Structure 1
Amino acid sequence: MDSIFKALADPVRRQVLDSLRASPGQSLAELSDQFEMSRFGVMKHLGVLQDARLIATYKKGRFKYHYLNAVPLQEMTDRWIGPLLEQPAARAVTDLKTQLEGPPDMTRPDFMMQIYIHCTQDALWHALTDPEANAAYNFVAGSCVREGSQLIFRTPDNAVMLILTETRLTPETRVESTFEPHWAGPDVPLTASRFVYIIEPQGENCLLTLEHYDIPAGQEGVADGWHRTLAGLKTWLETGQTVKFSHQTAET
């Protein structure tokens, strides 16, 4: 927690986070062009942000791309602000349609986040691939069933809301899947994007990296859903409790 406050105390680092929120996946050169300082100076600020887990990086060839990792900020909010606010049981999910295009090795993620979870590698793998486990921590799903390589999520009123189709599995380490949102209704053309889970054991913990590809312009709200789902995953694995991190609706 101290490293987060230290990272946020500097106005340049806050500007870096604002820039990555507005335009994810920037290189060091792209970020350096926005500040009146050397690349080395910007690189030092990025190091502080990375130590605080406020950014995640994706390396492709000689280049490293930087993404805002909002999980620590969400955890801080849940700890210090959430208890002060009355939170209703649910809020409508953000409308999303996505488009599948290009092989994974030809693009970089549109959205990326990382989260440390105190659990075994086996337990995390089970939680990501088991339908009952997915239903327990997904922030809006009422149920989830597996049909072959598909995980089918339904709302509490039994309407199909999301279909994940696993395209490649590396046991205990990596899940590649398509992402088909169905909550927009039958009049909206059905499209799909894709995402990857990467599991890295870290002693008694695991580092889970999520990479989401091919999110079309104007549909970046999928990131909010991922924050809430993975917060639920962490809570479920570490405490055994089912907590639905649903949207907050302000009362008037």
Structure 2
Amino acid sequence: MDAIFKALNDPARRALLDSLRDRDGQSLSELETQLDMTRFGVMKHLRVLEDASLVVTRKSGRFKYHYLNAVPLQEVIDRWIEPLLAKPAARAVIDLKTQLEGPSSMTDKPDFVMKTFIRCTQDALWEALTDPAQMGTWHFLAGGVRKEDDTYIYETPDGGTMMRARTLETDPKSRIVSTFEPNWEGGGAPSRTIFLLASEGDHCALTVEHYDLSVPVVPGEGVHDGWARWAAGLKTYLESGAAHRFNSMAGAGA
């Protein structure tokens, strides 16, 4: 947490975060033009933000793209503010119709990136992400999840289809590539997601990359808000064993 306050205690670093909030996924060259300092100076500030996990990066070809990661800030809010507002069982971090039959390309740039850390084993994280029974327990919005062949079908509470996710590629316990096919109004066109899992001793790092989005990524809304609630449910489930749906429409006991 000290690293977070250190990172925020500089106007240049706050300006970089503001820029990424307005337009995520910028390269060093793009960010460099916005500050009155050398390229090396901007790199040093970005390194501090990365060390605090406030910025995560994704390399594509010769370029490295930077993304705002809201998880550490949410943890700070949860520590001092959330207990004054509510007492959930656990509060954690801030979830193609076109055919994608061939191997996914790792040279394109994701539209959204989120990284979080969960106190669990890599096996447990993999199971929570691939077992439909578990997924239906912790998912913030789905009433249940079932699997048909290589496709996960997320159901609404009344039994309708909320979305589909067809598995395109897997590297057991470390990587999942799947479609993201929303069936709700305003969900946008089908897109693609990649989950990257890595063990770090007594906890795991989980990175979510979302590609080919047809809707804008606005902090605190839509895609951004959905993934934050998705991650909160997953983290709570794995760390406490208790299922809590972080759905804004659900009651405290949901």
TM bracket (short chain): 0.7 to 0.9
Higher relative contact order (CA 8 A, sep 6+): 1
Amino acid at match of 1:203: G
Closer, same or farther in 2 for the Cα pair 1:101/1:215, shift >3 Å?
A: farther
Q: Which residue of the partner structure matches residue 92 of structure 1?
A: none
Q: Which residue of the partner structure matches residue 38 of structure 2?
A: 38
Q: CA deviation at 1:50?
A: 0.6
- Out of 198, 201, 213, which is 2:199 matched to? 201
Closer, same or farther in 2 for the Cα pair 1:140/1:237, shift >3 Å?
A: same
**Equivalent position SS for 1:115:** strand
Matches within 5 A, 1:37-56: 37-56=37-56
CA contact (8 A) 1:173 1:200 kept: yes
Q: Which residue of the partner structure matches residue 131 of structure 1?
A: 132
Matches within 5 A, 1:114-193: 114-184=115-185, 191-193=189-191
- Summarize deviations over 1:185-232 as a string: whole Å, max 9, x none: xxx797310000011111121111110001124365212101110111
**Equivalent position SS for 1:13:** helix
Matches within 5 A, 1:1-252: 1-85=1-85, 103-184=104-185, 191-218=189-216, 220=218, 221-247=222-248
**Equivalent position SS for 1:104:** coil
Amino acid at match of 2:13: R
Q: CA deviation at 1:104?
A: 2.6
- Structure 1: 5+ residue stretches without partners: 89-97
Alpha-carbon separation, structure 1, partners of 2:229 and 2:85: 17
- Structure 2: 5+ residue stretches without partners: 89-95
Alpha-carbon separation, structure 1, partners of 2:81 and 2:184: 30
Q: CA deviation at 1:2?
A: 1.6
CA contact (8 A) 1:101 1:193 kept: no
Task: Answer with 26-35 or 58-67: which moved more.
Answer: 58-67
- Summarize deviations over 1:124-160 as a string: whole Å, max 9, x none: 1101111111112211111111111111111222221
Task: Answer with 114-123 or 133-142: which moved more.
Answer: 133-142
Alpha-carbon separation, structure 2, partners of 1:239 and 1:124: 13
CA contact (8 A) 2:69 2:113 kept: yes
CA contact (8 A) 2:217 2:224 kept: no
Q: Which runs of 4+ in 1 moved over 6 A?
A: none
Alpha-carbon separation, structure 2, partners of 1:206 and 1:190: 31
Alpha-carbon separation, structure 1, partners of 2:64 and 2:188: 33
Amino acid at match of 2:121: T
Closer, same or farther in 2 for the Cα pair 1:190/1:246, shift >3 Å?
A: closer
Closer, same or farther in 2 for the Cα pair 1:43/1:195, shift >3 Å?
A: same
Alpha-carbon separation, structure 2, partners of 1:79 and 1:100: 42
Q: CA deviation at 1:82?
A: 2.1
Question: What do you get for the CA RMSD once the two structures are aligned?
Answer: 2.3
Q: TM-score, normalised to structure 2's length?
A: 0.86
**Equivalent position SS for 1:112:** strand
CA contact (8 A) 1:108 1:213 kept: yes
**Equivalent position SS for 1:105:** coil
Q: Which residue of the partner structure matches residue 94 of structure 1?
A: none
- Summarize deviations over 1:46-89 as a string: whole Å, max 9, x none: 1111111111101122211100111112222233222223599x
Q: CA deviation at 1:238?
A: 0.9
Task: Answer with 167-176 or 129-138: which moved more.
Answer: 129-138
- Paired residues, what number? 237
Q: TM-score, normalised to structure 1's length?
A: 0.86
Closer, same or farther in 2 for the Cα pair 1:206/1:183, shift >3 Å?
A: same
